[in-house]
């Protein structure tokens, strides 16, 4: 994701209250299912495009461009006010932004070392952990076990090829942890800020997280016009479009439906990785990804249909 991403498969499991703040203008008549599917496709193909920039900018440098342009676009669109805000609301977007920036940086650093489809699948450990931790159903522990088995198969620590890159695995698990935390914070922000005002402010904070390592790693390449243009495209595909659409969908879509739709992310990521990066997956990887997707769907379906994200 969510790199990312975006709110996760089971974000709605942590709440049953509808957001009180106003939604995005012009999207009120768009079916929320369409918003989620568009966001999922956008963020995964944006991640694949970002991976093509790693040779020139590195993961941290690419993260700088993505988050900086996303912050510029969102701030220009929403022009959120800071003056007059309660200190607790400002602290909320500060924490929101740190989680968002750390999640993005860890994800890109992992993506530099492991395939996109596998990275997104393992990252689902974050939202699944949130869902299981907030669930009262014993069956969800079974789904958690299935997801853990799938992740173990993907890591393949005892395989003949040595399994995944160890550092890449650590980084994607860190991204999963930040994703789980991001879910809790992002959902709270939708109750406090109108539209994407909270997201815009958080994105400014997020852009500061990879700034130092990004400048050190990429150097003057950050000023190359072609790379700047690609970075702007990645920002739109991976941040502006999906985060905005999913934030709107979280206001209106039943929790279980939202979760099932978001569970498609690993499959979409695998397609994007194959089409853009030429990353083919073996039978073992596909079975492992299917276990994680099934676990995500199973946990999502345990959320009451009346629950609003």
Helix (H) or strand (E) segment spanning residue 281: none
What per-residue confidence (pLDDT) applies to 127?
83
189 burial level (CB within 10 Å; 0-12, 13-18, 19+):
buried
What is the pLDDT confidence band of residue 199, given thresholds at 50, 70 and 90? Answer: confident
CB proximity list for 99: less than 8 A, separation 6 or greater:
178, 181, 182, 185
Compute the mean pLDDT over every residue in the chain, rounded to the nearest whole number. Answer: 84
Q: What is the DSSP string of 72-119?
A: HHHHHHH----TT--HHHHHHHHHHHHHHHHHHHHHHHHHTTS-HHHH
The DSSP symbol for 17 reads P
d(CA 206, CA 105): 9
**C-alpha distances in Å from residue 305, one per residue of 255, 256, 258:** 6, 6, 10
What is the pLDDT confidence band of residue 308, given thresholds at 50, 70 and 90? Answer: very low
What per-residue confidence (pLDDT) applies to 297?
85
- Residue 22 confidence (pLDDT) above 60: no
- Residue 29 confidence (pLDDT) above 80: no
Question: Percent of the chain having pLDDT more than 70?
Answer: 85
**C-alpha distances in Å from residue 116, one per residue of 83, 112, 205, 238:** 41, 9, 26, 14
Tens-digit pLDDT profile for residues 148-182: 999 989 987 666 566 789 999 999 999 999 988 98
- Global pTM? 0.85
In this structure, the chain runs to a length of 309
| 104 in Cβ contact with 66 (< 8 Å) | yes
> Mapping DSSP to helix (H, G, I), strand (E, B) and coil, where does residue 169 land?
helix
Most confidently modeled range among 91-95, 131-135, 155-159, 299-303: 91-95
| 258 in Cβ contact with 11 (< 8 Å) | yes
Task: Answer with the residue of higher pLDDT: 306 or 211.
Answer: 211
- Residue 4 confidence (pLDDT) above 70: no
Residue owning tokens 């994800």: 107
- Residue 244 confidence (pLDDT) above 80: no
What is the pLDDT confidence band of residue 19, given thresholds at 50, 70 and 90? Answer: very low
- Residue 17 confidence (pLDDT) above 80: no
Tens-digit pLDDT profile for residues 213-239: 999 999 999 999 999 999 999 999 998
Averaged pLDDT for residues 178-205: 87
Six-digit token string for 159? 């395989």
Q: 71-76 — which CB contacts under 8 Å span 24+ positions? A: 71/200, 71/203, 71/204, 71/206, 71/207, 73/235, 73/236, 73/240, 74/196, 74/199, 74/200, 74/203, 74/239, 74/240, 74/244, 75/200, 75/201, 75/203, 75/204
Give which of 309, 289, 307 is closest to 297, Cα–Cα. 289
**Computed from CA positions of residues 226, 204, 41, 133, in that sequence, does the dihedral angle turn out positive or negative?**
positive
d(CA 85, CA 105): 29
What per-residue confidence (pLDDT) applies to 139?
86
What per-residue confidence (pLDDT) applies to 12?
40
- Residue 122 confidence (pLDDT) above 50: yes
| 172 in Cβ contact with 123 (< 8 Å) | yes
What is the pLDDT confidence band of residue 113, given thresholds at 50, 70 and 90? Answer: very high
Tens-digit pLDDT profile for residues 259-302: 778 888 999 999 999 999 999 999 999 999 999 989 888 887 76
Q: What is the DSSP string of 180-242?
A: HHHHHHHHHHHHHSSTTHHHHHHHHHHHHTTHHHHHHHHGGGGG-HHHHHHHHHHHIIIIIHH
Helix then strand then coil, in percent of the chain rounded to 5, is: 75, 0, 25
């Amino acid at each position: 994701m969510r790199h990312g991403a975006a709110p996760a498969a089971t974000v709605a499991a942590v709440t049953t209250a509808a957001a009180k703040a106003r939604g995005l203008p012009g999207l009120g008549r768009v079916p929320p299912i369409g918003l989620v599917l568009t966001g999922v496709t956008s963020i995964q193909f944006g991640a694949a495009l970002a991976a093509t920039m790693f040779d020139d900018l590195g993961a941290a440098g690419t993260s700088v461009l993505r988050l900086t342009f996303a912050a510029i676009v969102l701030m220009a669109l929403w022009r959120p006010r800071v003056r007059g805000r309660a200190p607790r609301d400002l602290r909320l977007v500060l924490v929101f932004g740190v989680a968002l920036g750390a999640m993005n940086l860890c994800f890109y650093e992992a993506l530099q070392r492991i395939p996109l489809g596998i990275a997104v699948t393992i990252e689902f450990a974050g939202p699944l952990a949130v869902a299981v931790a907030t669930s009262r159903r014993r069956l969800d522990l079974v789904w958690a076990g299935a997801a853990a088995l799938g992740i173990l198969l993907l890591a393949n620590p005892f395989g003949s090829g040595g399994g995944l890159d160890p550092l890449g695995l650590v980084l994607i698990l860190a991204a999963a942890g930040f994703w789980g935390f991001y879910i809790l914070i992002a959902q709270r922000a939708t109750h406090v800020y109108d539209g994407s005002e909270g997201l815009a402010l958080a994105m400014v904070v997020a852009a500061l997280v990879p700034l130092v390592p990004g400048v050190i790693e990429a150097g003057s390449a950050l000023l190359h016009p072609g790379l700047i243009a690609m970075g702007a495209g990645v920002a739109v595909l991976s941040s502006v479009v999906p985060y905005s659409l999913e934030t709107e969908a979280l206001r209106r879509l039943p929790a279980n439906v939202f979760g099932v739709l978001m569970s498609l992310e690993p499959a979409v990521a695998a397609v994007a990785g194959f089409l853009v990066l030429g990353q083919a997956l073996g039978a073992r990887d596909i079975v492992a990804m299917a276990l994680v997707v099934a676990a995500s769907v199973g946990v999502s379906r345990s959320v009451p249909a009346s629950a609003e994200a």
